[in-house]
Amino acid sequence: MNALLIFALAAAVFGTSTLSGIFGMAGGLVLLWILLLLLPVEAAIAVHGAIQVIANGARAVLAREHIAWKSLATIVCGLALAALVLLAVDYQPNVLVVYFVIGLMPALVWIPKHWLGLDAAKPHHALLCGFLSGGLNLTVGVSGPTTDVFFIRTEMDRRAVIATKAATQVVSHAAKVVFYAGAVASFDAAEWMAIAIAAPFAVAGTRLGAAILHRMSNLQFRFWTRWIVTAIGLVYLVQGILLVV
C-alpha cells in the first residue's frame, strides 16, 4: 500500500469505527466492503479481523461494566462449534458469495419479532447466536445483522447490547485472524504498517461513537440500526450483481 492508500484506510477506519461505536456493527460492514476493493478476499477478511479486534476491543473496554458475561460465554461456545465445523470441511472463501450473503443479511433485522423471538439473554438462543453469527463471520467476514437478530429484540438496555456485542466481536474477529493465518502470514511490511497506523484511529472513532450513543434513546438506536444496515446491504448486493454481469 502506498501512503495515499494508508491515509485513506486510516480515515475509513475512523469513520467506520465511529459508526460501529454508535450502532455496534454497521461500521464493520462498510470497512470490509472497502477492504474487498483493495485486497484479495482472504487477506481482506484477515485485515478486517485485525482492525475490528482493536475497534471492538476499545468499545468493549469502554463499556465493560455493561457486558452480559453469561450470554457472552455461551455465544463464544457457539462460535467454537462453528469454527470446528468449518475447519472439518476445509472452507475457502469466495468473493461473490461474500457480496451476496452480506447483501442479504439485513433482511434478517426486518423479520417480525413474533416470527422468531430470539433473545441473546436466553442461554440456548445465545448458543445459536454464537454458532450462526460466528460461523458467518468466519465464512464471509462479518455477521452484524445476524448477531443483531438476537439483540435487537432483547430487553437489554442499549448499552448492554453494544457492550456484549462488542465483546463477542472481539473473540469472533480474533478467531477470524487465526482461521485465515495463511493470509496473515503473507502480509508484507506495508500491510502491517497500515494496520498499525489504523489502530489509533479505530480507538478514536470508537470513543466518538460511544459519546454519540449516550445521546440517543433506545427507540432511535433500534430505528436507525435497521435502516443503515439495510442501505449497506443494498450496496453489497449491487456490487455482487456487477461482478456477475
The domain ranges of the chain are 3-244
What backbone phi and psi angles, to 5 degrees, belong to 154?
Answer: -75, 160
Reported pTM: 0.80
Cα separation of 180 and 146, whole Å?
A: 21
Q: Which range is most confident: 7-11, 37-41, 84-88, 206-210?
A: 84-88
CA neighbor of 195 nearest in space, from 43, 25, 26: 43
Q: Which residue has the cell 463464544?
A: 76
Closest residue by Cα to residue 9 from 201, 208, 204, 165: 201
1: pLDDT confidence band, cut at 50, 70 and 90? low
Contacts 24+ apart (CB under 8 A), 36-44: 36/95, 36/98, 36/99, 38/1, 38/5, 38/9, 40/183, 41/93, 41/94, 41/95, 41/98, 42/92, 42/93, 42/180, 42/182, 42/183, 43/180, 43/183, 43/186, 43/187, 43/191, 44/141
CA nearest to 171, candidates 91, 27, 29, 56: 56
Mean pLDDT along residues 11-29: 79
∠ Cα 83 139 50 (to 5°): 85
Q: What is the pLDDT of residue 175?
A: 93
Look at residue 130 in the predicted model and tell me its pLDDT. 93
End-to-end CA distance of the chain: 29
For residue 88 the three cell numbers come to 472439518
Single out the residue of 34, 3, 18 nearest to residue 239, CA to CA: 34
pLDDT digits (tens, 9 = 90+) for 59-94: 788 788 889 999 999 999 999 999 999 999 999 999
